[in-house]
Amino acid sequence: MRDFFLQLKEKFTRPAEEQEEATQGDNYVELETGASKDEKTKVVVRPFVMEEFEDIKSVLDVLREGSTIALINIKPLREKDLVELKRAISKLRKTCEAIEGDIAGFGEDYVVAVPYFAKIHRNAPFPNEQE
């Protein structure tokens, strides 16, 4: 986590040499533009199908990278082995907690897992109208 903040700091602060060059000579500063920066800033919504417990590894890997929202179809695993499904969901939940992300069911067949920068909206339960 510390390395992440150091990288951010380096991106937003320029070395003293660059600042001196910017004030001397020409009245403009040339900035590098590249596709790699654009790719890192984009958020990817990626679908996954969980047919076996081992399929959870690819989901966990992209969540740890931090720029992917995972839509996971759990129906094949649910129909095949409910115990393995519970094990996979537990592992997914623990990883989401570790990366400060969020996880929620989306209907009966899907689970949504998001990294730290996103929050899943949950409807508040309706108040009891009988009271």
Domain that holds residue 25: 2-114
Judge whether 120 lies within some domain: no
The string of DSSP codes covering 42-65 is --EEEEEE-SSGGGHHHHHHHHHH
Judge whether 130 lies within some domain: no
| pLDDT value at residue 3 | 73
Q: What is the pLDDT along the chain (131 residues), one digit of tens a residue?
A: 667 767 766 766 655 555 555 555 556 666 666 555 555 578 889 999 999 999 999 999 999 988 899 999 999 999 999 999 999 999 999 999 999 999 999 888 999 999 999 888 888 766 665 54
Judge whether 106 lies within some domain: yes
DSSP assigned state of 24: S
3-state helix, strand, coil in the chain (%, to 5): 45, 15, 35
- Dihedral of the alpha carbons of 108, 83, 88, 74, in degrees to the nearest 10: -30
SS3 3: helix
Judge whether 64 lies within some domain: yes
Q: Given the DSSP bridges, would you call strands 102-106 and 110-114 parallel, antiparallel or unpaired?
A: antiparallel
Judge whether 127 lies within some domain: no
Query: Could you give the number of structural domains in the chain?
Result: 1
Judge whether 54 lies within some domain: yes
| pLDDT value at residue 131 | 47
Alpha carbons 79 and 77: distance in angstroms, whole number = 5
CATH number assigned to the domain comprising residue 43: 3.30.110.150
| pLDDT value at residue 10 | 72
Judge whether 110 lies within some domain: yes
Judge whether 122 lies within some domain: no
Provide φ and ψ at 26, rounded to 5°. Answer: -65, 160
